[in-house]
Amino acid sequence: MFRFVSKGFEVAGYVIQYACITHCVFEYVGDFVVCNGSSMEPTLYTNNVLVSERISTRLHKVHRGDIIIAKSPSNPSQNICKRIVGLPGDRIVISHPFNYNPFRNISAVKSYVTRGNLEEEVDTIIDEENKKQIKKKTSAKEIIVPRGHVWIEGDNSENSSDSRSYGPIPQGLIQSRAVCRLWPLSDIKLLL
């Protein structure tokens, strides 16, 4: 009986040690992440499985081009996967409009197709009211990334909610850095 109890404590000790080591590895060294959404296409797709490491992000050793996993600034219960585009002190110029298409009006498209002279096409498509909107929507905006923050963007700029929407994010929101794509097996790739 005593031997049976002794063996039970020994097994329980191994299970607790294994659980502690596993927790420490996933909390402080690295983790597995499943991608969700299309903001990082064509680099990453929905249901890709990544291996991420946490050491460099805890030491604030991130670089431009790194793919990171961070807490969403707009929904802290959700993680996001984006690429670092700007570091503290970098000047970021946003010069293109979001989902702006000057040819969204069908009559303007028909006029554009039937006219032969570029000046006439522009005059037909852009009247005075639209000129003000286009200038407002396409004017470049310069932002300097503040200390302790990074500028992140998705690779699929047409379908990404990123720093262009909510500004630079604090480095404290960065959880880990993607190292490798593990799944699907046919697309295993280092992401460094």
Tell me the pLDDT of the chain averaged across its residues.
Answer: 74
Please name which of 117, 120, 121 lies closest in space to residue 109, comparing C-alpha atoms: 121
Q: Give the pLDDT band (50/70/90) at residue 108.
A: very low
Residues whose CB is less than 8 angstroms from the CB of residue 29 and which lie 6 or more positions away in sequence, other chains included: 53, 54, 55
Total-model pTM: 0.64
Residue 103 has pLDDT above 60, yes or no: no
d(CA 98, CA 141): 13
Q: Could you tell me if residue 144 is inside a domain? A: no
Residue 126 pLDDT class (50, 70, 90 cuts) = very low
90 within domain boundaries: yes
Is 39 among the catalytic positions?
yes
> In degrees, to the nearest 5, what angle opens at C-alpha 75 toward C-alphas 87 and 91?
20
Task: Determine whether 82 is an active site residue.
Answer: yes
Q: Quick one: 89 and 107 in the same domain?
A: no
Half-sphere exposure of 49 (CA within 13 A, CB side): 7
pLDDT one-digit tens code per residue, 82-98: 998 888 988 888 765 44
Same domain, 78 and 156: yes
Is there a contact between 102 and 108 (Cβ–Cβ < 8 Å)?
Answer: yes
Q: Which domain holds residue 117?
A: 96-139
Out of 6, 7, 38, 39, the active site residue is 39
Question: Which entry of 52, 82, 160, 163 is annotated as an active-site residue?
Answer: 82
State the average pLDDT over residues 108-117.
38
Q: What percent of the chain has pLDDT over 70?
A: 73
> What total number of domains does the chain contain?
2
Task: Report the CATH number at residue 54.
Answer: 2.10.109.10
Judgement on whether residues 64 and 19 belong to the same structural domain of the protein: yes
pLDDT digits (tens, 9 = 90+) for 165-178: 888 889 888 889 88
Q: Are residues 127 and 184 in the same domain?
A: no
Establish if 76 belongs to a structural domain.
yes
